[in-house]
Amino acid sequence: MRRVVFNQKGGVGKSTITCNLAAISAHRGLRTLVVDLDPQGNSTHYLLGHPGEELGTTLADFFDQTLNFKLNPKKTGEFVVESPFEGLDVMPSHPELEELQSKLESRYKIYKLRDALDELGGDYDVIYIDTPPALNFYTRSALIAAQGCLIPFDCDDFSRRALYALMENVQEIRADHNRDLSVEGIVVNQFLARASLPQKVVQELIDEGLPVLAPYLSSSVKIKESHEQSRPMIHLDPKHKLSQEFVALHDTLARKYGV
């Protein structure tokens, strides 16, 4: 399974959701890969403990290779870095992805990520793809390469308005480029169970027939500690309420889609 985590709005928890679900997959014994397409590199830093600038090989090198013919190009596996967590690998981001974007777009390299992940073949049971907060070259590449799409949602009216356009964009990619792509569900993040507005907004999504996933992820200061220590919740504090919510969400997806 290749799963992209996508929302055009920033600050909705894409990297947090990507890394914590991936960490649980690996913890459960699945061979797991995180592909960090966001030039900000939050997933890279979260899982590896340092930014892409400190690494020898990143996705910037991979995409740069697609622009320049080489007699002996590196294989996709050479752009993969082991994380400190067993069974969990990363294709790390780098700020240079921002500079490469226009060149990649103009030369129509939109299928290169899909081809690269195809090359990995059976090396991984599940691949999670983190994306920038924009519908750009990298996000389209991810949607073309993926089978499932998770949409983080942070319970405010602005996010709700953007949600409809976002789902239309996903369906357009599906129609034009990737028939295997489906919206697996909306992940409610930073949920305040005792506040009336989040409950109202989420219930309206459900009433409209949108695929809202349960459980909802609670708002917690513990996640900041998780970021600071570069340890996903399942490793930092597996008994914490938020850790258990991530586990339950992971298991919901596993029951529905097998991984």
Question: What does pTM read for this prediction?
Answer: 0.96
Q: Which pLDDT does position 257 carry in this prediction? A: 76
* DSSP-based three-state secondary structure for 82: strand
**CB of 238 within 8 A of CB of 20?**
no
pLDDT of residue 197: 83
The pLDDT tens digits of the residues spanning 180-204 come to 999 999 999 989 888 888 888 899 9
Query: pLDDT value at position 11?
Result: 84
Residues of the chain with pLDDT under 70: none
Q: What pLDDT was estimated at residue 70?
A: 72
Q: What is the pLDDT of residue 69?
A: 74
pLDDT at 56: 86
Bridge partner residues of 188 (DSSP): 153
pLDDT tens-digit series, residues 114-160: 999 999 978 999 999 999 999 999 999 999 999 999 999 988 777 77
Q: Report the mean per-residue pLDDT for the chain.
A: 93
Distance of CA 43 to the CA centre of its chain: 8
Q: What is the pLDDT of residue 41?
A: 97
Q: Assess contact for 36 and 90: CB atoms under 8 A.
A: yes
Residues 6+ apart with CB under 8 A from 52: 36, 41, 44, 58, 59, 60, 92, 93, 94, 95
- Per-residue pLDDT at 15: 97
